[in-house]
């Protein structure tokens, strides 16, 4: 059969493992009895920080020479190696490790970068205290955080997760190590797909979790060591899907299909609103950009997939009508105030933006050259890299290296797929 040259070839993006899955699996393996193998883990600043923090807590880990597998050996109970735990910039470390430590014995001090210290922890630390943990937190309930641990008995508590689902995920993952069942009433929850991911992984490692309405119950069964294969990161894949949308090309991400545990794969469905063709198969997802440019004039609630709202906001100027993104108020409490940061950077590019406490409306316009303030936020850097690619306008990232938080090779991979993209060289 002759080769069909009527369409450009499909570009296959090499997207690394999911940060959310890697760090959850690291914790559950540390809490399990025995040795687990985590295959295709994400190797990035956040996951390496998480793994090192586990080492500080006395958990033995090792890696194959090329990092294709990380082995984690847990003893089936909470940690017994008190000390100072450095979380660096990793929000998951600051939210997941303190509850785990509280199920152990000894005094643990958690701290992190100034950026991480600014992120709220109050709902989680107050809940741990109600469960009987001896917790001393900085003003506002954040880092630095000291826990004098003597195990947790379980019980019933209410945990408001309206600011971050990570509070609830961290508490639930520690629950099988408690002395009795834990029941959590959840009056508010954002980013529901991340809770679904947590519960699915807990069950994979042998936990008994039941959910009824706004209540989650976990039995004190402990965990069983097991091997786990980490999917490609759906949040990171959003940038390559968006690149396809703005260039009219076709990009596929192997290993990220309809059975994915990650809610952020829903970003591909959002791209349908822009006129992109989307195919989510069993083992891969493929996006083809519209030949006539992006369609705008729509409103979309991205509260459940807020880590990808910046990807859409960054390419929205290239649409033929305004794009309104709602439901993302909690994104103001991430690595940066992401709504304000996106609005300011788009305005620096000459784009009209309307901002509310929980939404952003981006109007059409050709960006002008600008210096992008990344705020040390990997998602800002990656989003505006795609806008620069799609518009052909030079946008300078003030901190291109911040992508190392989740994908150190992001710029080179984008340039491999799209040779017109120039890899930035300026580093802070």
The catalytic residues are 307
DSSP letter at 175 equals G
Helix, strand, coil abundance in the chain, percent, nearest 5: 40, 25, 40
Beta strands (DSSP E) in 151-273 are 155-158, 182-185, 209-212, 215-218, 228-229, 250-254
Distance CA 99, CA 140 (A): 18
Q: Which residues of 207-241 are buried (b: 16+ CB within 10 A; e: fewer)?
A: bebeeeeeebbbbbebbebbebebbbbbbbbbbbb
**Are 191 and 164 spatial neighbours (Cβ–Cβ below 8 Å)?**
yes
Angle at 50 between CA 382 and CA 210, to 5 degrees: 95
DSSP 65-122: TTSSEEEEEEESS-----EEEE-TT-HHHHHHHHHHHHTSEEEEEEE--HHHHTS--H
What is the CB neighbour count within 10 angstroms for residue 243? 26
What is the CB neighbour count within 10 angstroms for residue 12? 15
């Amino acid at each position: 059969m002759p080769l069909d040259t009527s369409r450009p070839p499909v570009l296959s993006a090499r997207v690394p493992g999911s940060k959310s899955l890697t760090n959850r699996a690291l914790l559950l393996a540390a809490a399990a009895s025995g040795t687990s193998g985590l295959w295709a883990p994400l190797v990035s600043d956040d996951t390496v920080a998480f793994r090192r923090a586990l080492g500080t807590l006395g958990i033995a880990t090792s890696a194959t020479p090329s990092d294709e597998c990380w082995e984690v050996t847990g003893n089936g109970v909470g940690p017994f190696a008190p000390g100072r735990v450095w979380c660096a910039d990793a929000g998951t470390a600051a939210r997941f490790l303190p509850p785990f430590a509280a199920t152990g014995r000894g005094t643990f001090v958690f701290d992190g970068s100034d950026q991480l210290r600014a992120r709220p922890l109050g709902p989680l630390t107050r809940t741990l205290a109600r469960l009987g943990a001896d917790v001393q937190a900085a003003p506002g309930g954040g880092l630095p955080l000291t826990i004098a641990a003597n195990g947790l008995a379980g019980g019933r508590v209410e945990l408001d997760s309206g600011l971050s689902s990570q509070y609830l995920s961290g508490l639930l993952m520690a629950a099988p190590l408690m002395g009795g069942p834990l029941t959590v009433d959840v009056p508010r929850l954002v980013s529901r797909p991340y809770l679904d991911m947590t519960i699915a992984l807990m069950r994979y490692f042998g936990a008994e979790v039941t959910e009824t309405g706004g209540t989650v119950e976990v039995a004190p069964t402990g965990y069983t060591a097991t091997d786990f294969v980490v999917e490609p990161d759906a949040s990171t894949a959003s940038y390559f899907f968006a690149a396809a949308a703005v260039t009219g090309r076709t990009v596929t991400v192997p290993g990220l299909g309809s059975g994915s545990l990650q809610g952020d794969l829903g970003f591909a469905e959002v791209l349908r609103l822009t006129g992109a063709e989307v195919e989510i198969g069993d083992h891969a997802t493929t996006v083809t950009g519209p030949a006539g440019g992006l369609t705008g004039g729509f409103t979309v609630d991205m509260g459940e997939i807020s880590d990808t709202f910046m990807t859409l906001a960054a390419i929205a100027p290239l649409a033929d009508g305004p794009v309104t993104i709602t439901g993302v108020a909690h994104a103001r409490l991430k690595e940066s105030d992401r709504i304000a940061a996106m609005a300011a950077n788009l305005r620096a590019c000459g784009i009209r933006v309307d901002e509310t406490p929980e939404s952003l409306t981006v109007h059409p316009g050709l960006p002008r050259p600008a210096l992008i303030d990344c705020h040390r936020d990997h998602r800002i850097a990656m989003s505006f890299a795609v806008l620069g690619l799609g518009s052909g306008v030079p946008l300078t990232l003030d901190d291109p290296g911040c992508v190392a938080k989740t994908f150190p090779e992001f710029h080179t991979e984008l340039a491999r797929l799209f040779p017109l993209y120039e890899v930035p060289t300026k580093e802070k």
